[in-house]
Amino acid sequence: MRQVELGNTGIKVSRLVFGCWGITNDFQWKDRKEEESLGAIDAALELGVQFFDTAEMYADGDSEELLGRALKGRRDQAVIASKVRPENMHPEKVIEACENSLKRLQTDYLDLYQTHWFMDRDIPVEDSWAAMIQLKEQGKVRSIGVCNAGVQDLSTLDASEIPVSNQLPYNLLWRAIETAIVLASTERNMGILVYSPLMHGLLAGNYNSASDVPDPRARTRHFSDSRSLARHGEAGHEELTFKTLAAIQSIADDLGRPMADVALGWLDAQEGVTGIIAGARTRKQLERNIAGLEQSLPNDVIEKLNEATQELKNTLGPNPDMWQGDAGSRYY
């Protein structure tokens, strides 16, 4: 597995990042067996995927605890990233949250510590960030980054220490960050860490129609607000989403490759992308994700995929928040 530098930190990370949101039971992913997740983490290290991304918010800390147990005795083989939850953005809580994450992960440092969302606008972004810098100065974290940070948030941090990375939602069905945030991040020499690369299984060909998608995975603005867990207040674009999926599938069929491979290959070719975060339940899924990044797509195929997804990109608009409509967008 290829390794790249995380921002300008000198920290070498695998291009594929093992996403740890789904390694424990969670409303989004439902039941997960611990032995299965431990086996997938073992396989990741064996196959050269040594960058693990978790958060205190994932299953209320259970994800961090499981990852800590999995890496016990071999911490030096892994690069660990975690995040402070939105409710803990007060400076004092940022410090406490990091210390709690360290305990759950059974380590005395994090390679990357990130803000998860800047949601509480009563707490100045610069105050939360000052606490992140303090953690770095104390040696509890090696580098600091942001997640879901918009152009205004990044501008606010310019007077301080620039984050090494910005973790953002990005895939063939969700290209909103191309409007402004990609440029705002790359011009600051920040690496972009991509989450939801397979759009919750849609780009893996797991569903034939919108009605097949379970409600926990149908919360995004692609789907009707009538779905029980949706909160974006929009009509959704279910027909166009599945029309676009069919077009992507056709391109993949012409190549003789799985749609998931093509979706990952497209991301691998995008400007500014440092790491692609994807979960895996099994070794087989992990090997499939690796394969998707090891076979580059020809430029003409990249162009075909851009064209096939342009209408959906335009229809969804520039709001980068997958779960909230324009009025409630958490990006600034």
Q: pLDDT of 180-212, one tens digit each?
A: 999 999 999 999 999 999 999 999 999 999 999
Question: Can you give the pTM of this predicted structure?
Answer: 0.96
Tokens 């992140």 sit on residue: 132
Output Rg (C-alpha) for the chain, integer angstroms.
19
Locate all alpha helices (DSSP H) within 47-84, ordered by sequence.
62-71
The verdict on whether 58 is a catalytic residue reads yes
Confidence tier at 218 by pLDDT (50, 70, 90) = very high
Tokens 């709690």 sit on residue: 100
N-term to C-term CA, the chain = 35
Percent of residues, the chain, with pLDDT higher than 90: 92
- Residue 286 CA to residue 254 CA, distance in Å, equals 24
Active-site choice (58, 113, 170, 195)? 58
Confidence tier at 30 by pLDDT (50, 70, 90) = low
- Residue 291 CA to residue 144 CA, distance in Å, equals 30
Burial label for 311, CB within 10 Å (0-12, 13-18, 19+), is middle
- Residue 20 CA to residue 67 CA, distance in Å, equals 8
Q: Could you read off the pLDDT of 107-163 as tens digits, one per residue?
A: 999 999 999 999 888 899 999 999 999 999 999 999 999 999 999 999 999 989 999
**What is the chain's length?**
332
**What is the reported pLDDT for 199?**
97
Q: CB count, 10 Å around CB of 138?
A: 12
Q: What is the DSSP letter of 157?
A: G
Q: Could you read off the pLDDT of 277-290 as tens digits, one per residue?
A: 999 988 999 999 99
Q: What is the DSSP letter of 28?
A: T
